[in-house]
Amino acid sequence: MLAGALFGIAWAALFAQYYLQDVLPPVWEGRDITVIGTVDSLPSYFESGARFTFAVEKVLDQDGVSPIVPKRLALAWYQTEGQLLSAQVQPGARWQLTVRLKRPHGNANPHLFDYEAWLLERNLRATGYVRSDQKLALKNQQLQAFVFSPGNLIQVLRSGLRERILQALPEHRYAGVLVALAVGDQRAIDQW
């Protein structure tokens, strides 16, 4: 029994070390970084933009130095005049984006939502936003509308089903509950 307990502790420590080593170095916090990757979750749209997770495939060099960036990022993209992000940010799409990142931080209030633990559970080791400055707008471009992978295919099907439910029940109070039951997206539930 002691050997089993020690094995379990060692196993948990190895997994913790593996997930915690994929972190944004402090030197790259708050700096513009250009990344190429895919949207690998259902985007969450809000009044002034969209939130989504981004699977990084490649990091472009900045002044001859290659930044170290975690494999998955939690990003927000705030729309500017003339942008319609709900039509652009789709699951499975490959993008080149200029982002500004920070290490995950959350409030340490007892008995409340632990944002930092939530990010760690989803292997999101950095948060940030897409830079939408006019000077940088040329760097934010969609490279491919859909990159095939089983995960991306599932996310596209979930997105299509979510949109069909919301279009069929546009003014119904419980449309978000049906979306949550059908595809697991709880963000559409109204907070009464």
Q: Kindly state whether residues 101 and 158 are assigned to the same domain.
A: no
**Residue 192 included in any domain:** yes
* pTM confidence score: 0.83
What is the spatial distance between Cα 187 and Cα 175, in angstroms, rounded to a whole number? 11
Enclosing domain of residue 78 = 24-147
Give residue 74's pLDDT: 95
Instruction: Give the mean pLDDT of 39-66.
Output: 88
Give residue 134's pLDDT: 63
Task: Between 122 and 110, name the one with better pLDDT.
Answer: 122
Measuring CA to CA, how many Å separate 161 from each of 6, 43, 156, 178, 183? 46, 13, 9, 11, 8
What is the spatial distance between Cα 85 and Cα 147, in angstroms, rounded to a whole number? 19
What is the spatial distance between Cα 73 and Cα 2, in angstroms, rounded to a whole number? 39
* Number of domains the chain is built from: 2
121-165: pLDDT as tens digits: 888 999 999 987 766 555 788 899 899 999 999 999 999 999 999
